[in-house]
Amino acid sequence: MGCSSCSTTKNGEPTGCKGNCSASCNKLNSFDWLSHIDLPDYGAYNLVEVSFNNGSRKEIFKKPDFVYISTGDLVAVESTATGYDIGQVSLMGELVELRLKNRKKIDRKVLPNVLRIANERDRERLKDARDSEREAMIRARVIVNDLGLDMKIGDVEYQGDKRKITFYYTSDGRVDFRELIRVFAREYKVKIEMRQIGARQESARIGGIGSCGRELCCSTWLTDFMSVSTVAARYQNLAINQSKLSGQCGRLKCCLNYELNAYLEVLQEFPKNVNTIKTKKGNAILIKTDIFKRIMFFAYKTDFGISEIHQLSIEQVKELTELNKKGTVPESLKDVSVVSDFIDIKDKELNFIDGAGSLELKPLSNKKKRKKRNSKRGAKNKTKNEQGPNKQSNNNRNKKRKKNNPQGKNKNPNNNNNTNKTK
């Protein structure tokens, strides 16, 4: 991808930004791959592609004969509502004709016109509109929260002349926002348009950096969002981990479909419905397939788990399945497993020792916790012993006296009786 300020080679291929951009590059940039080819003048083509708000939205317009523009110019165009909008010319010439053919629903006769090249007053209005979008979005989110609507305002876009404002929102279901539009009309005093988008479109408008370290595909070049399912991850032998397979939009990553066709072509060479291979030693179960090396891993299942993993090539698996169909059973997979061309000689077999029958695990005990408690008690006793043996013995005696005589009475009742008799 390359914008107008990115450096290019002599052949016209973009080499990427080198810090020369005055601002951030446009989203969904279109590389004019016909720029270095001698073609008829652009005047022969009366269609122009204009991008708005740094490429977040693109539309096709008709260019009148009296308007002279080129790629990269800021132009004022007709708006479908009221007033006019300001955008940047992103593409001209024959490529716009191809774009229009891809958009089959657009009628050429209904396309709006390009009015003129934007002047200084238009540029000031556009800058003022872009500066006030963030404040408008924050205010809109507060209003939605006060009304208690189940929706999220993802982005706000002002028209170039600030006569219209578009709110892009996401919601799980339908939302009755009639009261919301009345509040927005009193707050902003312009024409209001509510447009519902999906989670992928929201991440495309906001942008960001993916887990690969590059900008999101949906915000740079991807325009058609195909459905992605976990079946694509299973075909590519990827772990079904939702946190790793989902992108910033919360949905499955679009890049799961990029290499899916290549995997499906290779999987056609693998034998189908081969889950077990019968041998005299037992039934070997398929546990893994290496698509790149074209190897299938089988293992014997015992009472203690899986053991003796063997790797077989596709041809060997096909031969063994044909032998099993005929009724012949080999001794074991040890005699059959051979190193393929993709594997080093060191990795001929992956034999794991089954030590579950010979080793006995000791039951878990809580001796460590008891030791900790005993150590605490020992520490308390040490502090008591430091006070001296006499003090400790005296304290114990006093405690026993209090237990036996809580009210402080005399311990010898005979003495009391003797005194009474003498009286």
- What pLDDT digit, counting tens, does each position of 84-120 carry? 999 999 888 888 888 888 777 677 778 899 999 999 9
Full strand arrangement of the beta sheet holding 114-117: 57-62, 47-52, 84-92, 74-78, 114-117
Give the residue-averaged pLDDT of 25-32: 63
User: Of residues 59 and 306, which shows the higher confidence score?
Assistant: 59
Tell me the Ramachandran region of residue 207: left when phi exceeds 0, alpha when psi lies from -120 to 50, beta otherwise. left
Model confidence at 31, pLDDT cuts 50, 70, 90, reads low
Domain limits, the chain: 1-118, 128-202, 276-347, 367-422
- The segment with the largest mean pLDDT, out of 6-10, 46-50, 297-301, is 46-50
Residue whose token pair is 């479909």: 257
pLDDT tens-place string over residues 335-363: 666 544 444 434 444 444 444 444 444 55
Neighbours of 211 (CB within 10 A): 11
DSSP β-bridge partners for residue 192: 165
What's the confidence (pLDDT) of residue 223? 79
Residue whose token pair is 């209003």: 143
CA distances from 148 to 63, 143, 195, 334 (A): 46, 9, 19, 68
Give the SS3 label for residue 90: strand
Query: Are the C-beta atoms of 154 and 168 separated by less than 8 Å?
Result: yes
Does 232 score more than 60 pLDDT?
A: yes
Of the ranges 48-57, 223-232, 305-314, 405-414, which one carries the lowest mean pLDDT score? 405-414
DSSP β-bridge partners for residue 276: 285
Take residue 380 and report the two structure tokens written for it.
Answer: 């308390």
Take residue 241 and report the two structure tokens written for it.
Answer: 């981990």
Query: Are the C-beta atoms of 225 and 218 separated by less than 8 Å?
Result: yes
Query: Are the C-beta atoms of 31 and 15 separated by less than 8 Å?
Result: no
Residue whose token pair is 């891809």: 102
Q: Quote the mean pLDDT of the chain.
A: 77
What's the confidence (pLDDT) of residue 380? 55
Residue whose token pair is 């507060």: 142
Count the alpha carbons within 13 Å of 43 in the hemisphere toward its beta carbon. 5
Angle between helices 367-386 and 389-404 (to 10 degrees): 100
User: Of residues 273 and 10, which shows the higher confidence score?
Assistant: 273
Query: Are the C-beta atoms of 111 and 62 separated by less than 8 Å?
Result: yes
With the C-alpha atoms ordered 165, 169, 173, 177, is the resulting torsion angle positive or negative?
negative
**Cα–Cα distance, 167 to 180 (Å, whole number):** 11
What's the confidence (pLDDT) of residue 423? 38
Tell me the Ramachandran region of residue 78: left when phi exceeds 0, alpha when psi lies from -120 to 50, beta otherwise. beta
Report percent pLDDT > 70 for the chain: 68
Take residue 91 and report the two structure tokens written for it.
Answer: 């593409």
DSSP string covering 317-353? HHHHHHHHHHT---S-TTTT----TTS-GGGS-B---
Does 38 score more than 70 pLDDT?
A: no
Query: Are the C-beta atoms of 380 and 329 separated by less than 8 Å?
Result: no
Question: Which of 68, 70, 69, 74 has the alpha carbon at shortest distance from 87?
Answer: 74
Does 365 score more than 50 pLDDT?
A: yes
Model confidence at 5, pLDDT cuts 50, 70, 90, reads very low
Does 23 score more than 80 pLDDT?
A: no
Query: Are the C-beta atoms of 312 and 298 separated by less than 8 Å?
Result: yes
Report percent pLDDT > 90 for the chain: 26
- The DSSP call for residue 192 is E
Architecture of domain 128-202: 2-Layer Sandwich (3.30)
What's the confidence (pLDDT) of residue 324? 87
